[in-house]
Chains A and B, each alone.
Chain A
């Protein structure tokens, strides 16, 4: 299947700093990418749908000013967690939409101290 990468795989940052996570589709172009958040031992929660060349669509309850999403090219979407706080610590997973399925990245574990 198609390959989606995420960078970094792990990041530890201080409270108040911003962190950028990259999601790349390596062997296909994706006009739509998704960002999910997963709490320990919980399911994936869709945060937003990222559309190339346009604004992201955020799910209810997700702060768009807190979680900035940019999808500047057909192979790259970025999620920036601004002014991170310990409660933002989580596992963030992106996916890229293919013809019949979403292809998932390996995830980024964010720890905010």
Chain B
């Protein structure tokens, strides 16, 4: 009965490869996010989808492409991986109310290591 689940938890790959991380939430939330946590533990938003529509797209290289097949899923595909992409990627979901920021529920994170 995990609320926000991401797969895989660990991913080790070579530079130049393409990889995907999947995320699913069973909370019935309408908004999902991808956050990146770098080696200094700094947590920064990458994307946000509301009801399958992209609403936040920070300055992320276009090698990163999120896809939301339905409001319970938000996947992250990364092309041509670079060393600097090594990080922990967190998926999160929330229910956005008018004028109020809802609580974010996070997944366990997916640690990506690019060699």
Are A and B genuine complex partners?
no
